[in-house]
């Protein structure tokens, strides 16, 4: 029970004052590492099940690349992070236990430079490295937090979108914790300071921070629909903005260019907005009137919108221009392959996936696309071989396990298919469903001795973890 955990942590750390001048390095005494991991897993299970979770490996991959670049230059304690995207037009980003950081598409699109986006993410990373949420949770003594799962749900809802999930929260009787889990001004100042440090060390423009927060404040004053969740959890004061401004004024001036990745990701998100026809019109107009900072990204956006609108011939024309021009980029290769696939040209699609995975072997979204296209073409053994090879490199990749499960299923391997499905579920934080799957696999009766005993060992391992979690 979390209540017991709280009683314990409160005994160790009786008062967590609201005003700690320099919060400094944090000792991990609020949650144990195991408890925090369990909470993090419960949160991600809810995230993956939420229809607003954007299951787009390319956007997610970009966000993780940016996030880890900032984490790598953080002076504070390092840990695992997971960055994910929420399909929601409001401007928001939020950090949760377990190093899980969510970013709304609204923020990705509203940021006027990559440095602005980086500044918000760096701020969230600092909330994580400083254990701010764990400290706030530990500071509460309420007895209405029945389980880790309820806390996970309440945190997710209060962070991401208080309106959507309030019914679910009310049912957990934890509704009122929302307001008690807003960061204090001291936490905000600390996150600003450490965020600034990451931003400058990471080579971003520190003015991105004050620029963005200034605009956020103005936007919120006039149109109070775009930013409330963010501004409620991260109280923005004139002191904070003044601090940011004085810090960035002291920094040496240097122009920082946005990466092509940033531009492509935004073009990709914009191509998904509104009706397919509107997206095509908007992308065409931007390209024609040269309203872009990267022609490649603008053309990419048009090609993506055309594929979405099923105008395959026009899409292919733009794809050809992208492929023959410079610069090249794995997202361009992926779009080219996907355009061919959507147009029913599976041979061409496979050629393009092959070329892309050879040119960018470490870019996993291309691998997912390639494996899915092989499965689609009925080349199940090739798909499985590719998935297995990737899994030796990335054994914690739930998408690869899901693709491996599909390949095994299409090859008629029942035990291995359920086993791979179970691994994907376990990595998504859903241990109960993973146990169900692996049990089905063991009952299928088509595994060899080695496969059976490996699956049996895995089931026992998960049962132990699940039992320990239930005890909590």
**Among the candidate windows 189-197, 220-228, 278-286, 352-360, which touches Zn ion by CB under 5 A?**
189-197
Residue closer to Zn ion by CB (options 136, 306) is 136
Q: What is the largest CA-CA distance in the chain?
A: 69
SS3 call for 95:
strand
The site for Zn ion, by CB under 5 A, has a size of: 4
Task: Give the nearest distance from C-beta 44 to Zn ion in angstroms.
Answer: 21
DSSP state letters, 183-200: PPHHHHHHHHHHHHHHHH
Residue closer to Zn ion by CB (options 115, 333) is 115
Residue closer to Zn ion by CB (options 184, 263) is 184
Task: Tell me the chain's radius of gyration from C-alpha atoms.
Answer: 24
Beta bridge partners of 104: 86
Task: Give the nearest distance from C-beta 98 to Zn ion in angstroms.
Answer: 18
Write the binding mask 209 to 248 for Zn ion: x where contact by CB under 5 A, - elsewhere: -------------------------x--------------
Phi, psi of 86 (to 5 degrees): -110, 130
**Cα 364 to Cα 16: distance, rounded to the nearest angstrom:** 43
Task: Give the nearest distance from C-beta 233 to Zn ion in angstroms.
Answer: 7
**Cα 227 to Cα 220: distance, rounded to the nearest angstrom:** 6
8 Å CB contact between 285 and 254 = no
8 Å CB contact between 37 and 79 = no
Residue closer to Zn ion by CB (options 54, 128) is 128
Task: Give the nearest distance from C-beta 192 to Zn ion in angstroms.
Answer: 8
Residue closer to Zn ion by CB (options 195, 202) is 195
**Cα 8 to Cα 1: distance, rounded to the nearest angstrom:** 11
Short-list 334, 254, 274, CA closest to 300 = 334
**Among the candidate windows 91-99, 182-190, 428-436, 461-469, which touches Zn ion by CB under 5 A?**
182-190
* Residue 87 CA from chain centroid, whole number: 11
Assess 94 for contact with Zn ion (CB under 5 A). Answer: no
Q: How far apart are the first and last CA of the chain?
A: 5
Assess 183 for contact with Zn ion (CB under 5 A). Answer: yes
Assess 191 for contact with Zn ion (CB under 5 A). Answer: yes
Q: Which residue is nearest to Zn ion (CB)?
A: 234
Beta bridge partners of 100: 82, 96
* DSSP 8-class letter at 21: S
Residue closer to Zn ion by CB (options 240, 399) is 240
Task: Give the nearest distance from C-beta 127 to Zn ion in angstroms.
Answer: 6
Rounded to 10 degrees, the C-alpha dihedral 184/185/190/194 comes to 100
Assess 353 for contact with Zn ion (CB under 5 A). Answer: no
Task: Give the nearest distance from C-beta 67 to Zn ion in angstroms.
Answer: 16
Task: Give the nearest distance from C-beta 183 to Zn ion in angstroms.
Answer: 5
Task: Give the nearest distance from C-beta 230 to Zn ion in angstroms.
Answer: 9
Residue closer to Zn ion by CB (options 139, 322) is 139
Footprint of Zn ion (CB under 5 A): 183, 188, 191, 234
């Amino acid at each position: 029970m979390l209540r017991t955990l709280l009683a314990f942590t409160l005994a160790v750390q009786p008062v967590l004052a609201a005003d700690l001048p320099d919060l400094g390095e944090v000792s991990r005494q609020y949650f144990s590492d195991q408890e925090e991991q369990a909470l993090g897993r419960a949160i991600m299970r809810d995230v993956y099940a939420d229809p607003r979770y954007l299951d787009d490996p390319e956007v997610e991959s970009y966000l993780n690349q940016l996030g880890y670049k900032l984490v790598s230059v953080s002076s504070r304690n390092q840990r695992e992070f997971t960055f994910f995207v929420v399909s929601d037009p409001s401007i928001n980003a939020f950090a949760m236990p377990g190093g899980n950081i969510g970013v709304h598409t609204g923020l990705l699109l509203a940021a006027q430079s990559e440095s602005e986006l980086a500044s918000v993410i760096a701020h969230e990373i600092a909330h994580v490295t400083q254990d701010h949420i764990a400290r706030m949770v530990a500071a509460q003594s309420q007895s209405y937090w029945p389980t880790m799962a309820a806390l996970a749900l309440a945190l997710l809802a209060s962070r991401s979108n208080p309106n959507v999930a309030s019914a679910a929260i009310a049912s957990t009787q934890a509704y009122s914790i929302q307001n008690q889990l807003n960061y204090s001004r001291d936490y905000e100042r600390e996150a600003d300071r450490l965020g600034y440090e990451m931003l400058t060390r990471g080579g971003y423009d520190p003015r991105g921070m004050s620029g963005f927060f200034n605009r956020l404040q103005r936007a919120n004053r006039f149109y109070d629909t775009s930013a409330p969740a963010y501004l409620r959890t991260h109280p923005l004061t004139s002191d904070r903005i003044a601090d940011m401004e004085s810090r960035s004024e002291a920094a040496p001036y240097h122009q920082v260019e946005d990466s092509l990745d940033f531009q492509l990701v935004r073009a990709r998100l914009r191509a998904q907005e509104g009706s397919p026809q509107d997206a095509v019109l908007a992308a065409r107009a931007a390209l024609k009137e040269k309203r872009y900072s990267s022609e490649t990204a603008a053309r990419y956006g048009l090609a993506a919108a055309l594929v979405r609108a099923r105008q395959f011939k026009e899409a292919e024309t733009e794809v050809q221009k992208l492929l023959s021009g410079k610069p090249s980029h794995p997202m361009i290769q992926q779009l080219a392959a996907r355009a061919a696939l959507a147009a029913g040209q599976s041979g061409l699609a496979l050629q393009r996936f092959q070329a892309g995975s050879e040119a960018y072997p470490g870019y996993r979204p291309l691998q997912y696309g390639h494996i899915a296209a092989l499965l689609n073409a009925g080349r199940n053994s090739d798909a499985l071989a590719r998935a297995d090879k990737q899994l030796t490199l990335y054994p914690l990749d739930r998408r690869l396990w899901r693709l491996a499960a599909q390949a095994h299923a299409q090859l008629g391997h029942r035990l291995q298919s359920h086993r791979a499905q179970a691994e994907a579920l376990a990595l998504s934080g859903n241990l109960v469903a993973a146990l169900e799957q692996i049990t089905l696999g063991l009952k299928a009766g088509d595994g060899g001795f080695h496969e059976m005993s490996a699956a049996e060992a895995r089931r026992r391992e998960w049962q132990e973890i699940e039992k320990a979690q239930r005890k909590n």
